[in-house]
Each structure stands twice: as C-alpha cells, then as structure tokens.
Amino acid sequence: MFDRVRADYKAVFERDPAAQNGVEVVLAYPGFHAIVAHRIAHTLWRWRVPVLPRVLSHLSRFLTGIEIHPGAQIGRGFFIDHGMGVVIGETTQIGDGVTLYQGVTLGGTGKERGKRHPTIGNNVLISVGAKVLGAIEIGDNVKIGAGSVVLRTVPPNSTVVGVPGWVVATHAPDTDIHERVEVLPDPEGETIHALQERVVLLEARLAALAAELAQPPSESTVHPLGR
C-alpha cells in the first residue's frame, strides 16, 4: 500500500505543472487525499472488515468531493486532477499511470450484479466530464475526450470523443503522431442533412403552388353566369 501511495505522490509532480512542493501536495490536493484514503479503505475491504471501509469512503467523499468505492482496484501512479464530482464504482479495475479529471464517472448501466463497471488499462487519460459505463474494457494508452459517453470497448492507442463515444484517431504509444479515422459515423449530421433536403423539397412545392394560384383563370374555367 505504501509503495502505491508513493507512486501516486510522484504522479502529481509528473502530470501537474502547478504542483510546487511536497507540502502543498500533501495538504492541498484533494485528488491525492482521495487516493490515500482509498488505499486504506481498499485494504480494509480486502481484509473483509465490515462497515469501516464504506464509512472511510464516505468521509473521503465528504472532504474531497470524490467518491471511490472501497472495492475498486486501482493501480500505481493514479492521479485525479481537481477531482470534484469523480465517481468510481465498486467493480472498477484501473491500471497503472491513469489520469482522471473532474466530473469523470466510471459507473454501471443498471442493477445487474457481478462485474458491472469498466476495466481501464495503463496510461489512460479520461478528460473532464467523461462517462465510462458498463463492464467494458478501455485499452492501454487511450485518451477519452471531455464530455464523452463511452458505452463500448475501446482498443488500445485510440482517441475517443462524442456521445456515444467513437474512436476518432489512433496514435502510436509515447508519440504525438495521430492518424485520424477518415469515415466517422455522424447520426446528428445525417439527420440535419435529411431535414435540409426535406425543407428544400417543401419550399419547391410551395413555390409551384404559389405560381399556380397566381395565374389568371382561363375562359374555360369562368362560370357562364359569373359576369
């Protein structure tokens, strides 16, 4: 447990340029407080100590705004930046070197039992407000964009954005070289395009009807007594 806490402490300085010194991290970083509390609660959970792990988790949530179920399995070098509103469910499994930002949810999709929360690989970054739901797998080195809702398994070395989340790029590990996925599903864009075509068709019909009504009636259509 102490080795993992030490790795979590080092991760703050590796990934947050605002971290100035160790005293500041220990006293003023709620993400670090939350993971330290979780390490203790998870150890008690594995020892099958009743009630106390949940109470400790609840107290940590009250103090930091970060809710981590004591049953969640979290690897080394875990970092939560800012952190308010982060929720991590009971059967979540998180690898090493993972970074979460505020508002991230690693949750379930219903009341099913057993494995119902995601499995997160190594060196994954999950951005602000993203939701990863269900017993899905997120591969190593994946980046999930802000506000995304991920409901299906994501392959390694991918970038995911959107609601629902789609893979929009792949990248080689340890590089900034990205290869975009050329053909992306865009249901909203397709719907808007279909509506635009419908509007053009209706406008053409209205124009034709207006032109027909504007024509003067022919002699054959005049009533014999209509003088």
- Please give the CATH topology (third level) of the domain spanning 2-180: UDP N-Acetylglucosamine Acyltransferase; domain 1 (2.160.10)
Task: Examine residue 164 and say whether the peptide bond preceding it is cis (omega within 30 degrees of 0).
Answer: yes
Locate the domains of the chain by residue range: 2-180, 187-221
Which residues are CB-contacts of 69 (< 8 A; sequence separation ≥ 6)? Answer: 57, 88, 89, 90, 92
| pLDDT tens, residue order, the chain (227 aa) | 888 999 999 999 999 988 889 999 999 999 999 999 999 999 999 999 999 999 999 999 999 999 999 999 999 999 999 889 999 999 999 999 999 999 999 998 877 788 999 999 999 999 999 999 999 999 999 999 999 999 999 999 999 998 888 888 887 776 666 666 655 566 777 889 899 999 999 999 998 888 888 887 665 555 555 54
pLDDT in tens, 153-167: 999 999 999 888 888
CA-nearest of 191, 185, 200 to 152 is 185
Sheet strands (E) in the chain: 67-68, 73-74, 79-80, 87-88, 93-94, 99-100, 105-107, 119-120, 125-126, 131-133, 137-138, 143-144, 149-150, 158-161, 166-171, 178-180
pTM: 0.77
CA-to-CA dists, residue 149 to 95, 167, 172, angstroms: 20, 12, 23
Dihedral, 95, 97, 102, 105 alpha carbons, nearest 10: -10
pLDDT in tens, 28-43: 999 999 999 999 999 9
